[in-house]
Structure 1
Amino acid sequence: MLSTYLSREAARRLRHGAPWLRREDIISMEGTPQPGEPVQLRDEDGSVLGLGDVDLESSFAVRRIGQPDEAVEGLIPRHLRHAFERRGRLVDDPRFCRMVNDDGDGLPGLIVDRYDTHFVVQTLTRAMDARQAEITRALVEVTGAGSVLLRNDSPRRKALGLPTQRAHVLYGTPPRWCRLLEMGARFTVDLTYGVGTGYHYDQRELRRFVARMANGGRVLDACCNVGGLFVHAGLHGARQILAFDKSADAAELARENAEANGLLGRATVETGQPLQVLRALRDTFDLVLLDTPGVTSEDEFLEQLRYALRRTRHGGRLLVVGYHPPLGLGGFDELVATACEGEARIGTRLARLGLPPDHPTLVGSPGSDYLDAMALEVS
């Protein structure tokens, strides 16, 4: 196995849990490792620090993939098995969850979402691109997967300097539309063309909290996707729901999901851009749900949030969700405070919400906690 030697400072960071290092942290390399070929990471004295993927074209040139005493043989199945067992302990229904979350499961650059016997995979490094066949075999071996679908059409790949691909099958016959169950709600999602890997499992804690705020209220959801947030509001007593999504296909699925959960007559779903919708409405609501996956800057985020505050009645609640990037790390609270000040509204924070347990992240890894959310009472 080839070795890559790291500076003393980089070795210290790796020993203290850093999941990745930059190119300048490398002091020398043996040969040129191919994508998907792990190397031994060593300090300047030659002591083994662990196994890693090395890609000099990436911003994160070194990604840890194994501990010092870990063998290369069976590495992928071993990590998958541990991730599978972890979900069994932490997730209410592990048939429907994120099964692998990047560095948090020791597999940097790999995302796997589970839909019962169907698995959707996304690879975000050249090393994981090269391991697609190995990952597929391991998923079938460890989980008994009935199908595996690759979704490498994400804008995130483009941002990482990786080519995008159309969705295609790695194993079995995955359905385009799939049913899932979550906290008593039923959803149909589009595995092939839906946003990301089909469904926002990362918003589970948000949906849990929405259920606590919705009883008896009129709800506005400005960017509903397939209805994950507003359906849980409806199941927990919302009396009227008005929802929008910019995608006609997502809006159609949201209507189907509203009907499947008994919200016919209480939920109206229409097509519309979030900011245009928020500007055009004149009514106020008891609960406003503002997810912002499409914003491209902090200024755009602030503009949407200020209009959402205008649509929230005095004493009403607002749930706002932001993502890094485009929002800067650590600045979410300040942006919310700026929007409240700009609208002369007093916001009382009811809860800070983030990623659920099936999205583990490494402590001290900047950017891994990419989702920020806050529930506010607005007066």
Structure 2
Amino acid sequence: MFNTYLSREAAQKLRHGAFWLRREDILSMDGTPNAGEPVQLRDEDGQVLGLGDVDLESSSYAIRRLGLPEEAAEGLIPRHVRHALERRAHLVDDPRFCRLVNDDGDGLPGLIVDRYDTHFVIQTLTRAMDARIEELTRAIVEVAGAGSVLLRNDSHRRRQMGLAPQRPHVLYGTPPRWCRVLELGARFTVDLTYGLNTGYHYDHRELRRFIARLARDARVLDPCCNVGGLFIHAGLHGARQLLAFDGDADAADLARENAEANGLLGRVRVETGSTLAVLKGQTDTFDLVLLDTREADSSEGFIEFVRLGLRRTRHGGRLLLTGYHPPLALGAFEELVAEACEREQRVAFRLARLGLPPDHPSPVNTPGADYLDAVALEVN
């Protein structure tokens, strides 16, 4: 195993719990490891700091922590997958449907694994994890009992990391294109092969849980509904009328089917339309607006989405708002929300801050790992 020697400052960061380091933190290397070959991280005196992946071509972080100083490289991946399974067994209502591996939060940087009962969908976001595809698949099958494993490396996140996107393809078994998800008393059909990300937003679970407090007797607008994960929970918790849209016709069709499967057909209308066009084209106001701003590509774009969402929220109504970084700068979410309210001359009261659910763990001192911010507002 190659050794990589780090500066005194970088070594101190690792000892204090850092998970990412930059190229300039490296003092020297014994050699150049192949992608997927872990290295031993050491301080300038040679003291062992732990295992890591090194990628000198990375556009962001050249070093990603893989293990603690006492961990061995042998068996690391199945060991971490097993620990991830044990975590979810305690933290998730139904661990058959959850995020099984969440990047650095589960000690496997650059790896995402979402579970759909016996079917598993993975994404790799580093060259090291790309090189470990066979080892990862074997660990998921042997440790998690996977019936099938599907690779979904067609996301925009790979482009952001400087990695080439890949077409979805099967790594093990025979995964279905469409799969059933059971969550918080609702059931959804999702598209594992071509649906957004891996087919379903497990990261929105805390939003879905909170909707129960906002939806009773409400007229609801969801202008970016995907397969219906938010508005269906609003309907199940007493919303009297639901209007939903998605820019992808296939996603809108699935949302319509999911509404029917959950007994909401008499109260819901699902149509095809882009979020901005819907928000600009609507003239009515609603008791509850469910606004996912994933289509915003800048801070100004985010402010525009929020302003339009505020216009569609009646006096005394609620706006459930979700933002992401990137493109938003770290810590900028609430400041931008406040600016949008000021420009619209609306007074808003924060009812709750919401974020990632427990199956999306992240290191506490790793900026950017908590990529999702959400807030429930009462708007006057």
The TM-score bracket by the shorter chain reads over 0.9
Write the distance in 1 (CA, Å) between the matches of 2:127 and 2:90: 31
Which residue does the alignment assign to 2:187? 186
Residue 296 (1) aligns with residue 297 (2): yes
Residues in 2 aligned to 1:217 and 1:356: alpha-carbon distance in whole angstroms: 25
Which residue of structure 1 lines up, in the alignment, with residue 237 of structure 2? 236
TM-score by length of 1: 0.99
Helix, strand or coil at the partner of 2:114: strand
State percent identity of aligned pairs.
77
Alpha-carbon distance in structure 2 between the residues aligned to 1:31 and 1:360: 33
- Deviation string for 1:133-158 (max 9, x for gaps)? 00000011111100000000011101
Between the aligned partners of 2:166 and 2:279, the Cα distance in structure 1 is 34
* Residues in 1 aligned to 2:344 and 2:362: alpha-carbon distance in whole angstroms: 35
Residue in 1 aligned with 2:123? Answer: 122
Residue aligning to 1:37:
37
1:208 is aligned to 209
Equivalent position amino acid for 2:206 in 1? E
Residue identity in the other structure for 2:225: C
Summarize deviations over 1:206-245 as a string: whole Å, max 9, x none: 0111121000010000100000000000000000000010
SS in 1 for 2:212: helix
C-alpha distance after superposition, 1:64-122 (max 9, x if no partner): 10111111110000000000100001000000000000000000000000000000000
Question: Corresponding residue for 2:17?
Answer: 17
Aligned twin of 1:365: 366
Matches within 5 A, 1:169-184: 169-184=170-185
Aligned amino acid, residue 207 of structure 2 = L
The Cα offsets for residues 229-286 of structure 1, whole Å up to 9 and x where unpaired, read as 0000000000000001000010000000000000011010001111111111111100
For residue 85 of structure 2, what is the aligned residue in structure 1? Answer: 84
Query: Mind listing any 5+ residue stretches in structure 2 that lack a counterpart?
Result: none
Aligned pairs, how many?
Answer: 379
User: 1:293 is paired with a residue of what secondary structure?
Assistant: coil
Residue 98 of structure 1 aligns to a residue whose secondary structure is: strand
- The 1-side partners of 2:280 and 2:199 are apart by 29
Partner amino acid, structure 2, of 1:79: H
Query: Which amino acid letter does the alignment assign opposite residue 15 of structure 1?
Result: R
Distance, in Å, in 1 between the alignment partners of 2:212 and 2:54 is 44
Shift of 1:298: 1.0
Show the 5 A alignment for 1:326-345: 326-345=327-346
Secondary structure at the counterpart of residue 340 of structure 1: helix
Query: Secondary structure in 2 aligned to 1:228?
Result: coil
Cα distance in 2 for partners of 1:300, 1:262 equals 36
Structure 1: distance between partners of 2:63 and 2:332: 28
Deviations 1:286-317 (A, max 9, x none): 00010011111111111111111011111100
- Residues 332-368 of structure 1: CA distance to partner in whole angstroms, max 9, x if unpaired? 1111111111111110000000000000000110110
Deviations 1:169-203 (A, max 9, x none): 00000000000100000000000000001100000
Q: Give the unaligned 5+ runs of structure 1.
A: none
Distance 2:346 2:192 in 1: 40
| 1:49 counterpart SS class | strand
